Chains A and B, each alone.
Chain A
Amino acid sequence: MALPLRYSFRNVLIRWRSTFATVLGIALVVFVFVLLQSLAAGIEKSSGNTGDPRNILIVRKGSTAESASLISRGNLREIQYFEEIARNERGEPVISADVLVLVNLPRSDGSGEANVLLRGISARGVELRPQVRLVEGRWFTPGKREIVVSSRLAKRFANFGTGQSFKTGTATLTVVGWLDGGGSAFDSECWMDADECRSIFERDLYSSFLVRPASEAAGVKLLERIEADRRFKLKAEKEVEYYRRQTMTAAPIKWLGGFLAIMMSVGAVFAAMNTMYASIGARTREIGTLRVLGFRRRSVVLALLIEGALLALIGGVAGCAVAYLWNGYTTATMGFETFSEIVFEFTVTPRLMAEGLVFAVLVGLLGSFLPSVRASRLPVIAALKSV
């Protein structure tokens, strides 16, 4: 016969004083695990959220990142007349030849400098990226040294307010507006006119082309055509797929989260074992009584295991809850692909919380297994006699 669940449950509640530290320990293990994984999830979400499924991104064959790619103007002249590319109402091909430049700028809090990704876009650049909205000011005027910065970067870098200006290279750029990338990788970029950008930074070449094919079928054809044409040495792929692969920055954070979680859970298992041993030691007589009443060994083991798991679960829920407070909080680090500051949000997904809870329960089960087996093996008479 199994012990009622209430036995395990009430045990956890009644002994809260002695188990509090253990619960706290497990809560913090889960908290750290969920928080670090939520950073990685935030980076992945931001890049996974980027791009329009209709668009095709063209970069140089061999370059793994758009920012390290170089494409000649000759290529632009040819590709823009491909019949696979959509045309807008004025008959212009929907293609944006972009140039990406890394610019080292001072932070607004004076804590040093960091690289910002500056994207020079052509006239069709904005309409190709409908997820990017203007939230303040206006778009830049082509041919002028004006720039629209991400509103999230604006909080982090000096002189990024609308109307302010900053110097880079030989040029002074005036901030005329703020853009919002809607939680995409564009939240970590500043946009300006491509030709101005090329002249300021002495770039003869473009970095990438973003095109909108006329139809789904035309898109497939375009991918094949660029791949097959030996003259180009270019690689075309769907924009969303390109961004989905940009997860190099998340990898070490995931690794660190896993490493910390494993190391800390070893400590937490020890602590849980200690607590459970003590808690069982204190009720030797009670367990003896249970056995005399006819509860079998495995019922006792099961009840104690459930007690340990419950204990850990409370810790796990607390840890998840605290981690969830950070959900949506914006932070930044250096992206490995772009080598520039990337802004993203802590993203505590339900999956991460579930993982954290499973993790906590595992710690609880591991920590209470040996103590509960020991309790069930106590000779009944001796247990009853113990004080």
Chain B
Amino acid sequence: MTTVGFIARNALRNKRRFILSVSSVAVSLFLLVTLQVALRELTNPINDEGSTLRIIVRNKVSLAQPLPARQLPTIERIPGVAAVTPFSYYGGLYKGDEKFTSFAQFAVDPVRSFDLLSDAKVAPEQLKAWAADRTSAIVGRKTAERYGLKIGDRMQFTGQIYPCDLEFKVAGVYEGTADDRNVFFHQKYLDESLGDPGTVGTWWVKASSVEEATLITDRINKAFANTSAEVRAETERAFQLGFVSMWANIKILIGGISMVVVFALLLVTVSTMSMAIRERFRELAVLKAIGFRRRDLFAFILAESFGLATLGALLGAGGAWLLYGSIDMQQLSNGMFLMFEVTPQMLALAFSIAAVLGLLSAAAPMLGVARTSVVQGLKTLD
């Protein structure tokens, strides 16, 4: 019998316990990875390539406060600004949805907006058709698929923020961004329906280069300092992190609780795993008596608990990786989670925890083996 064979046979001698131990490690690590993924999704908003160039300008009071449309020429003249579009969140309820519409609708400038949304791919003729028809809209691929929308179909919305109901004709479908769900329509159409209030929600600005982006935000902020509508210009990244800050205590709380619990479940596993070895004290004493040295015994114990923990990690973390890689979380969670991606760091974390677990659960029995003499060990009954 080889050493490896001996260790494997030992580990599998109580198959039921082996399976239960491996599964509880697997479940704990699966949970750990899932929580990490969810937490990353909450605290680390996704970016697509174009986002490094994008600057978002909102009213300094808050995002909900509109900006005067007259700011446009001032922003356009700021050095380093390549393109500007109004970007107003319409927040309508799609006809047929009961309480909540899972995609956003934005009023934009049809000529410039897709220059800013550089990741979005739209057929040029669709873009042209959209620009030509004031009541038409470009729809994200996911939304189009979900509602079975084709070019030429009509979409009706009830305004929840703006006191106007709108109807759009689908002019085209875009895809290629991190979140292909939005609907874009003409700012002019919104203005007309509201009786030209002369306001927009936010401005989205494209910087001419990444290096200049922060400089441009400063210039925009200064340009409107001490006016009736002071602005806050920030990079898309900073803008998204502002949302993260608003989650307040919840994210810390959820993160904290989850980590503690995963840790506790692992402790339970440690206890059951070391139970398996404790039971074998007499045998280990026999091995010692027939000439195996202490470090051989240590190697046996360590290899077994390491193997068990690693197998658990493979099943749990690997399972999470396979599962989240193959399902469409965006659709399952109704747009709450966009990526739900297991990163290599998370896998590394899961495997390091498994390694520590292997060490910890071997530690107690190893200490016992080191302390007991052969005679004592042989006397052990359990």
Residues of A within 8 A of B (CB): 18, 20-22, 24-25, 28-29, 31-32, 35-36, 39, 60, 62-65, 67-68, 70, 101-104, 107, 111-115, 168-170, 201-202, 233, 248, 252-253, 256, 260, 263-264, 266-268, 270-271, 273-275, 277-278, 282, 331-334, 339, 341, 387
Say whether B4 faces chain A, with CB atoms less than 8 Å apart. Answer: no
Q: Does B249 contact A (CB under 8 A)?
A: yes
A263 pairs with B247, CB closer than 8 A: no
Whether, in the assembled complex, B113 has its beta carbon less than 8 Å from a beta carbon of chain A, the answer is no
* B272 and A274 contact, CB distance less than 8 A: yes
B246 adjacent to A264 (CB under 8 Å) = no
A111 with B23: CB separation less than 8 A: no
Chain A nearest CB, measured from B41 CB (Å): 12
Chain B residue nearest to A272 in the complex (CB): B268
A113 contact set on B, CB distance < 8 A: 242, 245-246
Residue on A nearest B91 in the bound complex, by CB:
A68
Instruction: Give, as a whole number of angstroms, the nearest-CB distance from B242 to chain A.
Output: 7
Chain B residues with CB below 8 A from A271, complex form: 20, 24, 265, 268-269, 272
Are B60 and A339 in contact, with the CB atoms below 8 A?
Answer: no
Q: Across the interface, do A263 and B30 meet the contact criterion of CB distance under 8 Å?
A: yes
CB-defined contacts of B267 to chain A, threshold 8 Å = 21, 24-25
The reply to whether the CB of B210 lies closer than 8 angstroms to some CB of chain A is no
Other-chain contact of A339, B27, B64, B241 (Cβ < 8 Å): B64
Q: Does B375 contact A (CB under 8 A)?
A: no
Beyond A114-B246, A277-B16, whether A103 also contacts B27 by CB under 8 A is no
A18 to B273, CA, bound (A): 12
B160 touching A170, Cβ below 8 Å = no
CB-based nearest B residue for A67 = B64
Is B382's CB under 8 angstroms from A334's CB? no
Q: Considering the chains assembled together, what is the distance between the CA atoms of A64 and B101 in angstroms?
A: 12
Query: Across the interface, which residues of B come within 8 angstroms of A263, CB to CB?
Result: 27, 30-31, 34
Cβ B160 vs Cβ A63 within 8 A = yes
Q: A331-B249, A331-B253 are in contact. Are A264 and B265 (CB under 8 A)?
A: yes
Q: Complex: how many Å from CA A271 to CA B264? A: 11
* Main SS class of interface, B: helix
Of A104, A169, A252, A339, which one neighbours B336 at CB under 8 angstroms?
Answer: A252
Q: In the bound complex, how far is the Cα of B91 from the Cα of A233, in angstroms? A: 19
Contact (Cβ within 8 A) A104 B31: no
| Residues of chain B with a CB closer than 8 A to A256's CB | 254
Q: Is B275 an interface residue (CB 8 A)?
A: yes
Question: Interface of B with A (CB < 8 Å)?
Answer: 16-17, 20-21, 23-24, 27-28, 30-31, 34, 59-65, 91, 93, 99-100, 158-161, 163, 165, 228-230, 232, 241-242, 245-250, 253-254, 257-258, 260-261, 264-265, 267-272, 275, 336, 381-382
Contacts A35-B257, A102-B62; A70 near B248 (Cβ below 8 A): no
* B60 with A104: CB separation less than 8 A: yes
In the bound complex, do residue B21 and residue A274 qualify as a contact, i.e. CB atoms below 8 Å apart? yes
Given the known interface contacts A101-B65, A168-B61, the answer about A114 and B275 at a Cβ–Cβ threshold of 8 Å is no
- A sample of 7 more A-B contacts (CB under 8 A), given A114-B245, A331-B249, is A29-B261, A114-B246, A168-B60, A201-B65, A256-B254, A275-B272, A282-B382
Contact B264 A112 (CB under 8 A): no
B253 shortest CB reach to chain A, Å = 7
B264 lies within 8 A of A24 (CB): yes
Judging by beta carbons under 8 Å apart, are A115 and B246 in contact? yes
Q: In the complex the two chains form, what is the Cα distance from A21 to B268 in whole Å? A: 5
Q: Once the chains bind, are B247 and A32 in contact (CB under 8 Å)?
A: no
A372 to B23 alpha-carbon distance, docked (Å): 20
* A112-B30 contact given A63-B160, A274-B20, CB 8 Å threshold: no
Measured in the bound complex, the distance between the Cα atoms of B254 and A253 in whole Å is 9
Question: Looking at the complex, which one of A29, A35, A68, A332 makes contact with B161 (CB distance below 8 Å)?
Answer: A68
Distance (whole angstroms) from the CB of B148 to the closest CB of chain A: 25
Subset of 14 A-B contacts with CB under 8 Å: A18-B271, A24-B264, A28-B260, A32-B261, A62-B158, A63-B161, A64-B99, A111-B245, A115-B246, A201-B65, A263-B27, A270-B23, A275-B272, A341-B248
B239 → A minimal CB distance (Å): 12
Closest-CB distance, B250 to chain A (whole angstroms): 4
Which residues from chain A contact B336 at a C-beta distance below 8 Å?
252
Query: Which chain B residue shows the least CB distance to A253?
Result: B250
User: Across the interface, which residues of B come within 8 angstroms of A170, CB to CB?
Assistant: 228, 230
Residues of chain B contacted by A332 (CB below 8 angstroms): 248-249
- A63 / chain B contacts, CB cutoff of 8 Å: 160-161
A60 touches B258 (CB 8 A): no
Residues in A with CB closer than 8 Å to B230 are: 169-170
Task: Provide the bound-state CA to CA distance between A268 and B99, in Å.
Answer: 37
Least Cβ–Cβ distance between A13 and chain B, in angstroms? 18
Task: Name the A residues within 8 Å of B248 (CB-CB).
Answer: 114, 331-334, 341
B93 CB to closest chain A CB, in angstroms? Answer: 8
Given contact pairs A28-B260, A263-B27, A102 touches B65 in the complex (Cβ within 8 A): yes
The answer to whether B31 and A169 touch across the interface, beta carbons within 8 angstroms, is: no
Are A333 and B272 closer than 8 Å at their CB atoms? no
Complex CA distance for A169 and B228, rounded to whole angstroms? 7
Q: Which residue of B lies closest to A248 (CB)?
A: B100
B246 contacts A334, C-beta separation under 8 Å: yes
Contact of A112 among B60, B242, B249, B268 (CB under 8 A): B242
Instruction: Give Cα A25 to B261, complex, Å.
Output: 8
Indicate which residue in B17, B24, B62, B264 contacts A104 across the interface (CB closer than 8 Å).
B62
A271 to chain B, nearest CB (A): 4
- A270 neighbours in B (Cβ, 8 Å): 20-21, 23-24, 27
CB-CB nearest in chain B for A111: B245
Minimum C-beta distance from B365 to chain A (A): 14
User: In the complex, A270→B61 CA distance in Å?
Assistant: 53
**Is the CB–CB distance between A25 and B264 below 8 Å?**
yes
Tell me the complex Cα distance, A170–B245, Å. Answer: 24
The answer on a CB contact under 8 Å between A103 and B268 is no
Q: Is the CB of A268 within 8 A of B265?
A: yes
Verify B61–A62 contact, CB threshold 8 A: no
Question: How many whole Å from B31's CB to the nearest CB in chain A?
Answer: 5
Q: Name the B residues within 8 Å of A101 (CB-CB).
A: 61-62, 64-65
B30 contacts across to A, CB distance below 8 A: 263
Q: A28-B260, A271-B272, A273-B20 are in contact. Are A102 and B63 (CB under 8 A)?
A: yes
Tell me the minimal C-beta distance from B146 to chain A in angstroms: 20
Beta-carbon contact of B159 and A62 below 8 Å: yes
Q: In the docked arrangement, what's the CA distance between A70 and B163, Å?
A: 7
Instruction: Assess the B265–A28 pair: CB atoms within 8 A.
Output: yes
Chain B positions within 8 Å of A65 at CB level: 160
Q: Chain A residues near B161 (CB, 8 Å)? A: 63, 68
